[in-house]
Amino acid sequence: MRSGSGRAVPGVLIAAFLLGSSLVAAPILGQDGDSANYRLTFQGTWTRSVTPGGVPGSAHFSPLIGAVHNGRTSFWIPGGRASRQIERVAELGIQSSLRTLMTRDPHVLAVLEKDLPRGGRASTTIEFQAARDSSLVTLVTMIAPSPDWFVGVSGLSLLDEEGDWLSSLHVELFPYDAGTEEGAEFSLDNPPTVPQGTITSIRGTGKFTERPIATLTFERFEPDPDDGDGPGDSEEPEPRFVGDVAAAPAGDSAISVFWKGKWADGERGVLSVEARSRKADWTPLVTADARAGQVRIDGLETGAPYTFRIGSGSADGGFEYSEQVSATTGAFGDACRAGEEFLCLRGGRFEVQVHWKNNDRAGDYGVGRSVPVDVSDESGLFWFFNPDNVELVVKVLDGRAIDDHHWVFYGALSDVEYWVTVQDVAAGVRRTYHNEQGRICGQNDTKAFPESGVSAVAATAVERGSTGSAGVDLLRIEALPIGPTAVGLRVDGDGYCEPGPERLCVQDNRFSLEVRFSDPNESTPGVDPEKAATVVDSLTTAETGFFWFFTPSNIELAAKVLDGRANNGHFWLLYGGVSDVEYTLTVTDTATGLTENYTNEQGSICGMVDTETF
């Protein structure tokens, strides 16, 4: 097949509101005469030569949103009326409704989306694949701030007049008015246009000169099948499936998503792959043929966790989603990294990192800070907001004598969304576990790290249901709602808790916490299997404490009492277990004499939040 020559054409561009995501999608498909891979580069050229009256200080383009599609669909055309979806992009930079429309359109091969840095000269790149029967590209982004101005391309063909693939294509982008809102200044708050007008070029009028405000460049490329980062890498190992979906890192900034079973049924047609991260809620990234069995997603943030799900139309006309799976980008290191963001366990063989996100406050996300445990090399702690308020306990146990694996346990004292990433630096194996906001429970994975260490892929953890399989136990909890963390009011009353080896005292020694557990290994006749847990005194803070059951190096339970009286007039108890033995936690408010018992049944590794009792 003869490759088409390059050409340059004028075009158009749309603006949208900038999100905190940096997700780019590129499906894994072969390239032959019926398909071609392209690298699309967007380059902003918004300077005073484009808008002589000045460039606003907050000038930017919204995230690029578009699709690769066939000629039986279109999303906007010059001279036509803007749809509700295009209106939301042009006026507000909100692309969610347009994304949904494109994802569900049967004539769309792939949805393209990519964040842009702030500023009028922002640049970014997307790699994608087009097919001979889906060789058109539509792309839009908002000129922000503005009433309803945007730029983009509509149904741009990547084939030349003879039907051959273009080797390159350069497009100059000029501004359009969506015809939905009044206004001639760079502002967002304007009255609607009544009746609605049509999409009209404003090149060389009003604020704009005849110079392009941005450009698009398409370059065809041949993927290297021997590239160690690419899908053609023959040494890429199989992912660890727990359900029918799995995810695995594919380089510093890429993750591959895999599926099988019902999701690989050809009758499902096109699947939508979505992701969420610390910086973005569920976002459709790409569509792929169900029969492909996998898709690679490039352009992700390096060293960051992502959670994925795939979806498709269901038989009843609705939309069905798969279980959720998680993976973390980044190259595999050969040593546990130093710094408070990392926890090194078992002689530095295992590296743990935690990322969190508070969905109740926009833009509130971060990295957990580790607290090594002086009595243990197999357990450690993380705090999110305050060093005195520990949120997570993580431990890696050596279970090789039982099943030839190292085991991962973690227990939570927080209901924010977070990701736990554990890496065996000796074997180059990484596991990522995800906790949805509102759930205060941990997990245990007794198949986390095989001693052979032959698989260098991210394990997946099924997020749906109460139990998994293949060693992953998802833990469910009946938790009461929890609001903000401790408010630090003065503790009053005459009660006093006397600290001791088996008694934890918190909140200025007002609250007493003691634990009795049943030793499953105790079978000696006449010997009571019930024993007292021991406080890890060196880790006690004003609000939080820890207990060990069998050995000082193996933390089994974390508990804290927060002062929530400013919220509901009560103290709040939170506890989380990293043990599945039967135990009873007894909490006493020495100021009032009120005592409450909390029992964990054998086999459960979950905790509780109680915001009403005390």
Per-residue pLDDT tens over the stretch 126-155: 989 999 999 999 999 999 999 999 999 999
Q: Are residues 204 and 320 in the same domain?
A: no
Residue 229 lies in a domain: no
User: Tens digits of per-residue pLDDT, 230-271?
Assistant: 433 434 446 888 888 999 998 788 899 999 988 998 888 889
pLDDT of residue 238: 63
- In tens, the pLDDT along 13-37 reads 322 222 223 333 333 333 446 889 9
Q: What 3-state DSSP class applies to 435?
A: strand
Continuous segment of H or E residues that includes residue 431:
strand 429-435
387 and 423 fall within a common domain? yes
Mean pLDDT of 316-344: 87
pLDDT in tens, 71-94: 999 999 999 999 999 999 999 998
Query: Residues 268-288: pLDDT tens digits?
Result: 888 999 999 999 999 998 888
Say which amino acid occupies 136.
L
Domain presence at residue 372: yes
Report, as an integer, the average pLDDT of 82-109.
91
Angle (deg, nearest 10), helices 84-92 and 96-104: 150
**Structural domain ending residue among the three candidates 301, 328, 355:** 328
Given CA atoms 102, 104, 110, 114 in this order, what sign does their dihedral have? Answer: positive
Instruction: Tell how far CA 553 is from the center of its chain.
Output: 32
Boundary (domain end) residue, out of 474, 493, 518: 474
Owner of token pair 């989380």: 576
CA–CA distance, 201 with 177 (Å, rounded to integer)? 6
Q: Is 227 domain-assigned?
A: no
What's the mean pLDDT in 405-418? 82
- Asked if residue 312 lies in contact with residue 323, where contact means CB atoms within 8 angstroms, the answer is no
Q: What is the chain's Cα-based Rg?
A: 28
User: pTM for the whole thing?
Assistant: 0.52
pLDDT of 235 reads 42
Q: Which two tokens stand for residue 202?
A: 């404003």
**288 and 249 both lie in a single domain:** yes
In a domain, residue 499? The reply is no
Q: Are residues 129 and 214 in the same domain?
A: yes
Domain assignment present for residue 602? The answer is yes
Residue whose structure tokens are 């400013």: 566
In DSSP notation, 251-313 reads: STT-EEEEE-GGGG-GGG-EEEEEEE-SS-SSEEEEEEEGGG-EEEE-SPPTT-EEEEEEEEE
**CA 357 to each of CA 163, 276, 305, 560: distance values in angstroms, whole numbers, following the listed order:** 48, 11, 11, 21
Q: What is the CATH number of the domain that holds 84?
A: 2.60.40.2130
Residue 275: both structure tokens together: 């992701």
The whole-number average pLDDT for the span 95-111 is 89
295/303 Cα distance (integer angstroms):
20
At 77, which amino acid appears?
I
* Whole-number pLDDT of residue 450: 86
- Report whether 599 contacts 608 (CB < 8 A): no
Please state, for a pLDDT cut of 90, what percent of the chain lies above it: 42
Helices (H), 462-594: 565-568
What is the spatial distance between Cα 587 and Cα 385, in angstroms, rounded to a whole number?
25
Amino acid at the residue 597? N
User: Is residue 226 in a domain?
Assistant: no
pLDDT in tens, 342-359: 999 988 999 999 999 988
Residues 107 and 51 reside in one and the same domain: yes
Residues 67 and 100 in one domain: yes
Q: Are residues 457 and 574 in the same domain?
A: no
How many domains, the chain? 4
Same domain (yes/no): 18, 163:
yes
CB atoms within 10 A of CB 272: 23
Query: How far does Cα 105 stand from its chain's mean position?
Result: 25
Considering the domain architecture, whether residues 99 and 189 belong to the same structural domain is answered as yes
Say which residues have a Cβ less than 8 Å from residue 179's Cβ, sequence separation at least 6: 81, 82, 148, 193, 196, 197, 198, 199, 200
As a whole number of angstroms, the distance between CA 588 and CA 525 comes to: 33
Residue 256 within any structural domain of the chain: yes
Cis peptide before 145 (omega within 30 of 0): yes
Domain of 376, in residue numbers? 343-474
Question: 154 and 252: one domain?
Answer: no
Please tell me whether residues 50 and 119 are part of one structural domain. Answer: yes
CATH assignment at residue 274: 2.60.40.10
Q: Does 42 share its domain with 70?
A: yes
Average per-residue pLDDT for the chain: 81
Dihedral angle sign, alpha carbons of residues 608, 395, 371, 539? positive
Residue 557 buriedness (CB in 10 A; 0-12 / 13-18 / 19+): buried
Beta strands in 549-582 (DSSP E): 555-564, 570-577
- How does DSSP classify residue 165? B
In a domain, 359, yes or no: yes
Of 474, 495, 527, which residue sits at a domain end?
474
